[in-house]
Amino acid sequence: MTLAGCGTSGVSGVPALRSAIGSSLAGAQGKTLVDQNKIDETLAAGCAVKFYTPAECDRQTKASAERRAELKS
């Protein structure tokens, strides 16, 4: 009985994924800093829950910095 509430499968499914990653990305095209912020927020959440690999997160961080520099020019 004590183990009935315990499990190792975790939360699964689309609603849980949407909740973990968020919905900031919808409509973002990376054409403005506001759009880049939306992209970064979404990717940061995905990295935080380990949806993306560390290499993918590093690649996004570098790409975001490059894009932000382009947008400020």
Task: Indicate whether this model's pTM tops 0.85.
Answer: no
Q: Which residue has the tokens 């940061």?
A: 44
Q: What does the pLDDT look like over 24-60, one tens digit per residue?
A: 777 777 889 998 998 898 889 889 888 889 999 999 9
Q: What does the pLDDT look like over 2-16, one tens digit per residue?
A: 444 445 555 567 777
Q: What is the pLDDT of residue 1?
A: 40
User: How big is the CA angle at 17 (ends 49 and 31), to the nearest 5 degrees?
Assistant: 85
Per-domain boundaries in the chain: 22-72
